[in-house]
Amino acid sequence: MYAGLAPSGRVPSLAAEMPEQVVTINSLSKSHAMPGWRAGWLVGPRQLLIHAEAMAQCMLFGLPGFVQEAAVTALSVSDAAESRIREYCAVRRDFLLAALEGLRGLRCLVPDAGMFLLIDVRGTGLSGYDFMCELYRRERVSVLDGGAFGKETSGFVRVCFATDEAILRQATGRIRRFVETLVR
């Protein structure tokens, strides 16, 4: 899903060398700013695709026409669209990292691609869940508890930076104010 947002626009893949063993799943959600539209595809071994198609047909019954038309248009301008989204995300990511830089108790994990930043909040003395709840209660900034993604990201929160820079500026100011009350 994030390959188009990687710095080069692509990520390493074994698909060309092992076509009968690799399944590639992709969509237009991230790379073409079409989240929630559920337009995507699956590439893999023929036998798997036959079963996946049967499952999709009985579950989905097809996409709305406007989503199909938007997908065709998005694919026709794919390189330019991915480049714009990649630049948009890189600028927002760098802004967010700079705004949170030097804030005691937080350690940001810089993503290679995408529109989300994982922040280790264990240095604040709070769990990811408690950090999420208290940040929202006190500052009305919504982040996601990293524990929702498994034990490896417990103690982290996930922040989306795919929004207007003014909103990011306001949110990072509120995050900073909140964290400064926790870590002195």
Q: What is the pLDDT of residues 41-76, one digit of tens each?
A: 888 898 888 888 877 776 666 677 888 888 888 888
Task: Grade residue 116 by pLDDT with cuts at 50, 70 and 90.
Answer: very high
Lowest mean pLDDT among 31-45, 51-65, 85-99, 154-168: 51-65
Q: Report pLDDT for 61.
A: 66
Q: What is the three-class DSSP state of 184?
A: coil
Angle (CA) 169-175-177 rounded to 5° is: 105
Structure tokens at 68: 């199909």
Closest residue by Cα to residue 143 from 152, 126, 127, 131? 131
Amino acid 119: pLDDT: 97
- 175 close to 139: Cβ distance less than 8 angstroms: yes
Contact 132, 145 (CB under 8 A): yes
Phi, psi of 19, rounded to the nearest 5 degrees:
-60, -25
Residue (of 157, 90, 73, 84) closest to 120 by Cα position: 157
22 half-sphere exposure, CB direction, 13 A CA radius = 9
Distance in angstroms (rounded) separating the CA atoms of residues 1 and 114: 9
Q: What is the DSSP letter of 30?
A: T
pTM attached to this predicted model? 0.67
Residue 145 has pLDDT above 80, yes or no: yes
C-alpha of 93 from chain center: 11
Cite the beta strand spans of the chain per DSSP E. Answer: 24-27, 40-43, 107-109, 116-120, 144-145, 156-160
Nearest alpha carbon to residue 175 among 141, 137, 129? 141
